[in-house]
Chains A and B, each alone.
Chain A
């Protein structure tokens, strides 16, 4: 029963939408590449049959819109046919970005949790700091990213850390806001019960507030890790970094290598999906072990 409903409710609709998108993609590739190809052929004085013309639009070296199979081929070539640690490999570039993402995410999560614990326990911090955290969500933090990179390189800090700091900056907000909500989620009744046990603030925090905040924690971590990845990619843009998904994007845009850009984008998307899925799986596992209903 469940299997049938999965196929019927998920696989068929999602599959057909994806198929439709693929068809649109091919069509767009043809119609966007055709003008250039027509122009090219006219200058070369060649006349082609329709089929031949169609094939040509699908295999330009620098197409306006690369065809899906070109991107797939590039992705395959740069992932499986080269050594993973060579500069041409997308695995290498993904790893560079991933390492910045993960270290930034770890720092951001720790910082976010620390801020949340402070806010929950110190009323002055709550009233004065929390509004600024929320307000800072409205400013384009990424705008500062290039400056942070340049500044840190001016005082001799380069490589992984500046990118990780931008990821930290982007990921601590969702964690802090989510954790404040989570740490405040226990009932007044439960808090009162802790008080009748004459539990200290520390004990209340460890035994009641933190367990109650776990679902909130994982939900905000899912947002935070996606933000971390974006931070790491944008952090690779300004200094003309030589490695990472962001540098691949930038190099692709300099030389109009659309196929490379698309391949880098898809590599980045795969990393994003893997990261979010990993957080989700860990979250489900922890929630189930803590006695939440399995979903």
Chain B
């Protein structure tokens, strides 16, 4: 009995693959033999994974069976748009359950001390891969109209075939509007915070206003900026400047008060001037707060620039492309732009996180 260790994902997977036998073959272009191969792989994977096996063997079996079955299922959709039977989806669910079992095995059982042996990157990556697999199979298998949701493969194809358009949009929106606005907005926010810190009156006046502004729908200023600065990237940069200014101001001001009375007293006993204390003690202590603002602003800047383009723009730019291609039902282009925005946003954020780690290595949150 101890050799056999059942778990609900594998049991459900077993049931689902047995059910899938009722509707063979899975798609019009998939032969009964290859459909049976998928079921065989799934059944074998589910059964073997319930045996008492070493971690490595279990991981290998689950990986091979879930992804092997998924690969065959995707391949079975060639020239068979929208012809998948109920059995196809049952097999898909079975493969997905084995994938879930793999994630569970990799993450450990959650009890204290067993943090799981899967790397912190693999588990989320598996989740992402499964989202894409399910998206692809369901959209193509069930024949979801292209204008509703294009499959990831079509989006990928569109990205590779229209790199020049994507590059132009990237240049217009990110390199011109976002970058300029982000740098200027964050910098002015920072400088005003330094100034407000020197003159307390300014700080006590600006801080409540800044806190309030952070809750306001600042994106609404986009049409005004378009009227003032024209259709080109300058108006988008202006929106980004306004949106990024206050988070930086509020966070820097909060960060500058982060030092303790003791540390400031010590600086006073050294006879340090205001600027020395600022430069050598308080700015350094404020770095986590400043990076927090930089991270918030990186998201705000991209959103601000894209949404501002909905209000009027030259015929280039990510927001422009999204709004026009939606109107022309070219959904794959829209998704290509969204994918690019997601990648740019994540890279931006990731770069900031790395920089933060390098600058604020002394902070308790990074201590090991």
Residues on A close to B: CB < 8 A? Answer: 9-10, 13-18, 32, 64-65, 122-124, 126-129, 131-132, 135, 137-144, 146-147, 150-151, 154-155, 222, 226, 229-230, 233-234, 237-238, 245, 249-250, 252-253, 256, 258, 261-262, 264-265, 268-269, 272-273, 276
Contact = CB atoms under 8 A, between A and B. Distances in A.
Nearest to A256: B227
Contacts of A229: 217
A32 to B, nearest CB: 8
Q: Identify the 3 closest CB pairs spanning chains A and B, nearest first.
A: A253-B223, A123-B110, A13-B205
Contacts of B202: 13, 17
Interface of B: 100, 103-104, 106-110, 116, 118, 120, 123-124, 126-128, 147-149, 201-206, 208-209, 212, 214-217, 219-224, 226-228, 298-299, 302-303, 306-307, 310-312, 318-319, 322-323, 326-327, 331, 334, 337-338, 341-342, 345-346, 348-349
The interface residues of chain B, by DSSP majority, are classed as helix
18 contacts: A10-B204, A13-B202, A14-B208, A18-B205, A127-B107, A128-B124, A140-B341, A143-B341, A150-B326, A226-B216, A230-B217, A238-B310, A245-B217, A249-B311, A253-B222, A253-B227, A269-B217, A272-B215
Q: Which of A32, A140, A233, A261 has the most CB of B within 10 A?
A: A140
B215 A265 contact: no
Contacts of A155: 148
A261 B303 contact: no
A28 to B, nearest CB: 10
A139 B219 contact: no
Contacts of A9: 204
A198 to B, nearest CB: 17
A229 B312 CA distance: 22
A146 B310 contact: yes
A17 B103 CA distance: 55
Given A142-B307, A146-B322, A276 B215 contact: yes
Given A123-B116, A135-B346, A128 B123 contact: yes
Contact of B215 (A126, A141, A222): A222
A268 B216 contact: yes
B103 A154 contact: no
B309 to A, nearest CB: 10
A174 to B, nearest CB: 12
Contact of B226 (A64, A253, A265): A253
B217 A138 contact: no
B121 to A, nearest CB: 9
